[in-house]
A and B are shown apart, each in its own frame.
Chain A
Amino acid sequence: MNIDSIKNGYVIDHIKAGMALEIFRVLELDKLDCPVAIIKNAISGKMGKKDIIKIDAVIDLDLDALGYIDPDITVNFIKNGVLVEKKHLELPERITNVIKCKNPRCITSCEQELDHVFKLTDREKRVYRCIYCESMAKQR
């Protein structure tokens, strides 16, 4: 298997095996015009198996969404073919339009233009709550 190295873009590394397609969907990578590679079940010394996503373009990467899906992910920033930054993610304090509030009594259920915003209320237990109705997001 031959995947060209990236000139300007990102390598999203240390994705838990099996999660790459969900990240692909959440980041809406299907809408990109540039080369995007998904590597599933790559061998990893630490993780056993892992997934990797390579994006060969500079885009507005939603690190909060990535951190929410898996805070153990590493994002490598590539510029002119060189690794310029390695970012270790963590659980974001707030996520916007990554998940939707399921509470039918929440104001977001009837006002369609509102952003669905969740805030981290318990880092240890990874609890996120809707900022409007305080319903707990389904835990990952």
Chain B
Amino acid sequence: MKHLIDILDFSTDEIDALLDRADDIIANPDKYREVCKYKKLATLFFEPSTRTRLSFESAMLSLGGSVLGFSEAKSSSASKGESVSDTIQVVSCYSDIIAMRHPKEGAPLVASFRSEVPIINAGDGGHNHPTQTLTDLLTIRREKGRLDNLTVGFCGDLKFGRTVHSLISALSRYTGIKIVLISPDELKLPAYMKTDVLDKNGMDYVETTDLIEAMKDLDILYMTRVQQERFFNEADYIRLKDSYILTKDKMDYAKKDMCILHPLPRVNEISTEIDDDPRACYFKQVACGRYVRMALIMKLLEVEA
């Protein structure tokens, strides 16, 4: 029995096969309509996340399965003080697979130690969010046709952004990847990510504070939100906030086929005037999220079309 706790739990061959399956689901949805009939997915969301939960539920329903679960801790036994281990052992008896989000880092790993069914980490605090990374990889591969030989820019909050850390880790296993880190000094990529991932894998990377300057080389621009609460003083936030907002005039500096991604929700970091630009791929990314979760559920349940 296999779980997905960290994106690196899967080899690149496994990820490639998963993305191939997702592509086939997109091309032939009817083939997959009943492959999970009579199977049940439990969505255990100890903290709210409407988007991710709905994506998982939609994925399971599209495979002909059923869903059950809760969407916040206060409607679960956790509010009575039940441990993650106990909750999981109980829910294992009711379901065939579990997608779990928890505010504490490492909670899905604890769940995997005690579960009788596969566990999918649907986000654990600021730590991991592997299905978002699978979503990002599928979107990149569908848009660019490859996962190697790409220049990928990450912009905004690179310090606390778990989606950024996971995607960089996943891309570190492909060749010819160049990473461009665009952020204010206050929100630079943590040192351990540079030593343990970028340097360790001999990855080519540069750091800059200038989005416009970096733009011209990028194949992918991964935007994240710069949040006011991350700054120690308001003056710094006001000084910097507009530098990392993607607007139509900044897009003039980008390649004609650059692809803009964003894990969503956005607030104001991508101007809505860009939504109609063919390079804006963030809503396609949402659709990819459902397909790749369908492929993942099939893999972990070991079902075939």
B192 touches A107 (CB 8 A): no
- Which chain A residues lie closer than 8 Å to B192 at the CB level? 136
A132 touches B125 (CB 8 A): no
Neighbour of B106 across the interface among A106, A113, A121, A122, CB < 8 A: A106
In the complex formed, the residue of B with least CB distance to A125 is B195
A106 touches B104 (CB 8 A): yes
Closest Cβ–Cβ distance, residue B102 to chain A (whole Å): 7
Separation of A108 and B106 alpha carbons in the complex (Å):
8
- Which chain A residues lie closer than 8 Å to B106 at the CB level? 106-108, 130-133
- Which chain A residues lie closer than 8 Å to B125 at the CB level? 105, 133
Q: Which of B83, B105, B110, B126 has the most CB of A within 10 A?
A: B105
- Which chain B residues lie closer than 8 Å to A131 at the CB level? 106, 109
Give the tally of cross-chain contacts (CB within 8 A): 45
A107 touches B126 (CB 8 A): no
Q: Which of B83, B104, B127 has the most CB of A within 10 A?
A: B104
- Which chain A residues lie closer than 8 Å to B85 at the CB level? 111
Q: How many residues of B contact A (CB 8 A)?
A: 17
Q: Mark A120-138, 1 if CB is under 8 A from B, else 0.
A: 0110000000111110100
- Which chain A residues lie closer than 8 Å to B103 at the CB level? 105
- Which chain B residues lie closer than 8 Å to A132 at the CB level? 105-107, 109-110
B110 touches A107 (CB 8 A): yes
A106 touches B109 (CB 8 A): no
Closest Cβ–Cβ distance, residue B255 to chain A (whole Å): 35
In the complex formed, the residue of B with least CB distance to A121 is B196
Separation of A130 and B84 alpha carbons in the complex (Å):
18
Separation of A122 and B107 alpha carbons in the complex (Å):
24
- Which chain A residues lie closer than 8 Å to B126 at the CB level? 105
- Which chain B residues lie closer than 8 Å to A1 at the CB level? none
Closest Cβ–Cβ distance, residue A13 to chain B (whole Å): 35
Does A3 sit within 8 A of B, measured CB to CB? no
Closest Cβ–Cβ distance, residue A115 to chain B (whole Å): 10
- Which chain A residues lie closer than 8 Å to B109 at the CB level? 107, 131-132
Known: A107-B105, A110-B104. A133 touches B127 (CB 8 A): yes
Separation of A106 and B128 alpha carbons in the complex (Å):
12
B102 touches A107 (CB 8 A): yes
Q: Mark B120-154, 1 if CB is under 8 A from A, else 0.
A: 00001111000000000000000000000000000
Neighbour of A105 across the interface among B105, B110, B196, CB < 8 A: B105
Closest Cβ–Cβ distance, residue A12 to chain B (whole Å): 33
Closest Cβ–Cβ distance, residue A24 to chain B (whole Å): 31
- Which chain A residues lie closer than 8 Å to B105 at the CB level? 103, 105-107, 132-134
A-B contact list, 8 entries, CB within 8 Å = A105-B125, A105-B126, A107-B104, A107-B109, A108-B106, A111-B83, A111-B110, A132-B109
A residues near B, CB below 8 A?
103, 105-111, 113-114, 121-122, 130-134, 136
